[in-house]
Amino acid sequence: MTILKSDIDALAWDKQGGLLPAIVQDATSLRVLMLGYMNRDALAATLDSGRVTFFSRSRNAQWVKGETSGHVLELEAIDVDCDADTLLVSARPHGPTCHLQRSSCFPAASGDGLAELDALIATRERERPQGSYTTRLFESGIRRMAQKVGEEGVETALAAVAQDDDALLGEAADLLYHLLVLLRARGLSLADARRMLAARRG
């Protein structure tokens, strides 16, 4: 379930001395970013402020992730497990989460590569770096982007019929990339497409 402030007292605080482990997951890529601990006050502060807040066992004090570095974790949602003694925090990181300047404290943690690509495309659209192919696509306009999706779709279909698996996978990757750019140009995202797919289940 998704935690609300009214749910705080119903959690199993007594199991671990008033603390609950809080697993933080990137809301976009689904990559596990870090593990921290929350007490009642830290959980309440997280819900109130929208910035993930922990209780430091070593300092015996509450702390906001990124309060010094600026690499805060913007809260999306908090779920609780079936025993009500572990939290799953969905957040949007602003900068690296790990103190070693890595995106995750778990360097081999897997994530959703397609979602990460979508996030990168969103950054390219916003920042428009010079020399970027993605920037050139955005500046070419919707018609050209739509044309590229059509071309890549045809090339993917042809590869499926007449080429080997590597060729098909390469064309499929090109098609997915150009489709994500087109969606973003229309103000949409991979998450929107996934919601549409989820609504069609059944």
Global pTM reads 0.73
Q: Provide the pLDDT for residue 33.
A: 97
Domain CATH code at residue 55:
3.10.20.810
Q: Is the predicted pLDDT of residue 1 greater than 80, yes or no? A: no
Q: Provide the pLDDT for residue 111.
A: 87
Query: Is 51 part of any domain?
Result: yes
Q: Provide the pLDDT for residue 110.
A: 86
Where a domain ends, among 39, 64, 93? 93
Distance CA 27, CA 134 (A): 23
Q: Provide the pLDDT for residue 145.
A: 97
Q: Are residues 18 and 64 in the same domain?
A: yes
For 95: left if phi > 0, alpha if psi spans -120 to 50, otherwise beta; the answer is left
User: Which of 4, 18, 27, 21 shows the shortest CA–CA distance to 115?
Assistant: 27
Where a domain ends, among 61, 93, 125? 93
Query: Is 101 part of any domain?
Result: no
**For the chain, percent of residues with pLDDT exceeding 90:** 87
Supply the range of the domain harboring residue 155.
Answer: 113-199
**∠ Cα 182 158 117 (to 5°):** 30
Q: Are residues 170 and 135 in the same domain?
A: yes
Phi, psi of 60 (to 5 degrees): 55, 45
Cα-trace Rg, the chain: 21
What pLDDT digit, counting tens, does each position of 10-68 carry? 999 999 999 999 999 999 889 999 999 999 999 999 999 999 999 999 999 999 999 99
**Measured on CA atoms in the order 22, 107, 31, 99, is the torsion positive or negative?**
positive
Query: Is 11 part of any domain?
Result: yes
Distance CA 110, CA 117 (A): 14
Query: Is 117 part of any domain?
Result: yes
What pLDDT digit, counting tens, does each position of 91-131 carry? 999 999 999 999 999 988 888 889 889 989 999 999 999 99
Query: Is 108 part of any domain?
Result: no
Q: Provide the pLDDT for residue 202.
A: 63
Query: Is 102 part of any domain?
Result: no
Query: Is 103 part of any domain?
Result: no
Query: Is 99 part of any domain?
Result: no
Q: Are residues 177 and 127 in the same domain?
A: yes
Q: Are residues 85 and 117 in the same domain?
A: no
**How many structural domains is the chain composed of?**
2
**Long-range CB pairs of 182-189, under 8 A, 24+ apart, other chains included:** 182/142, 182/145, 182/146, 182/148, 182/149, 184/118, 184/121, 184/122, 184/125, 184/138, 185/125, 185/138, 185/142, 185/145, 186/142, 189/118, 189/122
